[in-house]
Chains A and B, each alone.
Chain A
């Protein structure tokens, strides 16, 4: 499988920021941390604090309300000082909750690691056992264990720990399963590591964040649940008291002296809120998926920075993109994915956009219909005129009338671009109903016709298939049928064959080419594969670091490149039938798009570089009939 896929708007996490630094920036987590630190510190310091003895009864002073002289949280039904009991009770609750968490984490994580690493029978036996524990309603098993062992704090602790083992076993197993098939585990085997060493040195460090996350999210429950058992009289036994048993003691007095139950209840609530806030903060810091802010959901269209509406230029053009700039704002970093792109497309024309990962070719294409995910994407400048209207300034509802109707997209991976829960016929039908207002019956008939036109065998049956029931090539045919459904004026295909095998790719390209010619639609074809562009397109844009560096007719550009990057790119691709040509690798790497140089972005890798290249911005200038190049030495390219 060709995996040279363009990174789609997944910016890197901010570099050099430590976990602690990121936690500190999360104000809610800091509040949680403060709550937890204060309560834990008080509980730890209980023996040295100037508190009354929590167990001295004073019948004369019973049920004093809060803020009384000498007992500013009041006293309970036996005249014991509430503040003192609260601090000592918190000490017990926290100790028990933490101990139960540690026990559950140790046993559960071990089970999870071993089950996932060894798999097969070991996995089956261990996880079926865990499933059995999960088959019980959470608290009931704990109750049964306490019932058998007898009420008491230690028994309650054990019971709560046991019922929480499955959470650790499952999440650790899940995380480990995601790792055991990673190639670095195979590499460790090839390095001659033993199983124990692989588990301890390769797997454990990688699942540790998961264990910490699970601990931080379950410790709150465990405190709650042990308090609950004490509340029911099954945990701490008098004279020992934890927050739960205090609450339980007070519940009979709710009408006469509510403070006896309210005070410990509120403390549990605050403590658990604190723990949960901190736990959420920790999870955000430790979960790599959340680090980049990737869990933001994209909105209906890309945000467009306010700017003046632009007048029309080329009246006859189908699409005219001028000065387009699209950037990703991640924290304080601004990644300029597209940095001033201009091009025009005539009706019926086919244009290829080529470039490597990060060149901005996909973002350019997705900017046209506002499909760059926001956040973090934002179109900061430019205009995109389609048949004379500026798409960037169009109201969402009008833009939606153009999407899938006058302009349609074909995306890269046909498995993920189709909705897995809907039949493919319904997904084609949907776009017909939306834009042509067809009845469901008429739309389905037309959908079947379309599936037939894209060469799906037995289209009537296939229309009732779900995406996972089709092969990769068939799925991409469905996507093409969807794109052609409303006879669009422009089709934008973003690496549509990269995920396919070469023989399938060849058939899909043939199909796309034929159908496009039949319908007269214009085509923008985005790819990293220069060969595919040659076969399919009339004109080509070569992009580098968010800019067009060269444009012109495909044959002319590929036979006689007029930008050093195009020349280098052509020279470094192995070509079938020319095995002995020396592969002229381009030295170095493309510049980071959040730190672009002032002058030419290719200067550091360019054989023709002059001091002038770095001094000022190089403009895209005419370099021949219908050709443009962003190089001041374009005339020398290919001659030395």
Chain B
């Protein structure tokens, strides 16, 4: 298992490398002169000259990449011209709030998705299954940005139960309680689609697993249904569900862009939207790189959980 973990960890290196290449190549997608495009409104001849030098734009592309990558490895993601500060500082400041929001949503979607999916499969064709199926269908069809607006409209504007946005109260004490109070609506809005997906795939996997011969064997042994379903069926279904939750982490991290905009959450998503509209390409690049890297780590973790569950995956 440890050997597998180390090998798997080593495998993330080429993935991270690939990600850095794609993120880097984004700049080459820019039509026209990248330097002017990167600087946009801040394009004084001085600045243009400086960024040319920094990115080595007069050099061939592979060399530019090497220059850029060595900067990245030293923690230098360039300078944000719209904010006039190093990209890495801004990104790190914004990373925490995004992790809190995405983590909360991921937690919600795993718990509710798994429970709903298992109930739905075990009670197939029963009323609980029907209710869950309909709820899931609406859930996965909901635009999260629209749902966010509706939640604000009902729970903040209408009922006044939750704040309309932000991460802490303006003059609050910054306590955990306050954070949770602010987190409830955005995390819910962000989790809804992912919960639907997890529930649906959990149901499908449970149904598949319940048809397997070993479940019949467990029943033939006289085991009680509870044990048949949890120890024999659910455990096997979980092997396939864990990577699905990993994929949801990607959707949640991406969806955070909308939710942070709607709820004025001070995370990377909102930073990215602003950065794109001010054409602050280096800031976009830095933000995407960091979030993508953290997603790679999440997938590493789900992979390891999957392997811990399933001994068959430990070979090779």
Contact = CB atoms under 8 A, between A and B. Distances in A.
A contacts B directly in the complex (CB < 8 Å)? yes
Interface of A: 128, 131-151, 220, 224, 227-228, 231-234, 244, 247, 251, 254-255, 258, 261-262, 265, 268-269, 272-273, 275-277, 280, 294-298, 300-301, 369, 371, 373, 397, 400-405, 408-409, 411, 413, 416-422, 430-431, 434-435, 466, 468-469, 479, 482
B47 to A, nearest CB: 19
Contact of A135 (B19, B30, B312): B19
Contacts of B273: 143, 232-234
Contact of B220 (A397, A408, A420): A408
Contacts of A430: 221, 223
A136 B311 contact: no
Contacts of A254: 149, 152-153, 157
A381 B217 CA distance: 25
A272 B225 CA distance: 38
B236 A419 contact: yes
Contact of B213 (A294, A403, A411, A468): A411
A275 to B, nearest CB: 8
Interface string B244-261: 000001111111011001
B26 A135 contact: no
Given A140-B292, A295-B207, A296-B207, 19 more contacts: A132-B15, A138-B250, A140-B253, A143-B257, A147-B26, A148-B30, A150-B31, A231-B143, A231-B145, A232-B273, A234-B273, A255-B157, A269-B142, A297-B124, A371-B216, A371-B220, A400-B224, A404-B221, A416-B213
27 contacts: A128-B18, A131-B18, A133-B22, A137-B250, A138-B251, A140-B291, A143-B288, A148-B281, A149-B31, A220-B141, A228-B258, A232-B273, A251-B149, A255-B153, A275-B141, A294-B211, A296-B207, A297-B121, A401-B222, A403-B219, A409-B217, A420-B214, A422-B231, A431-B223, A435-B222, A466-B311, A469-B311
B206 A300 contact: no
A151 to B, nearest CB: 7
A149 B225 CA distance: 57
Contacts of A265: 143, 146, 149-150
B214 A232 contact: no
Interface in B31-74: 31
Contacts of B27: 148
A416 B144 CA distance: 42
A288 to B, nearest CB: 15
B46 to A, nearest CB: 24
A381 B212 CA distance: 27
Contacts of B249: 137
B254 to A, nearest CB: 3
Contacts of B212: 416
B218 A419 contact: yes
A148 B137 CA distance: 35
Given A297-B206, A403-B222, A268 B143 contact: yes
A151 B277 contact: yes
A418 B212 CA distance: 10
Interface of B: 14-15, 18-19, 21-23, 26-27, 29-31, 121-122, 124, 137-138, 140-146, 149-150, 152-153, 157, 204, 206-208, 210-225, 228, 231-232, 235-236, 239, 249-255, 257-258, 261-262, 272-273, 275-277, 279, 281, 284-285, 288, 291-292, 295-296, 299, 309-312
A213 B136 CA distance: 19
Contacts of A150: 31, 279
A232 B211 contact: no
Contacts of A300: 219, 225, 228
A351 B88 CA distance: 77
B253 A417 contact: no
A513 to B, nearest CB: 21
B252 to A, nearest CB: 8
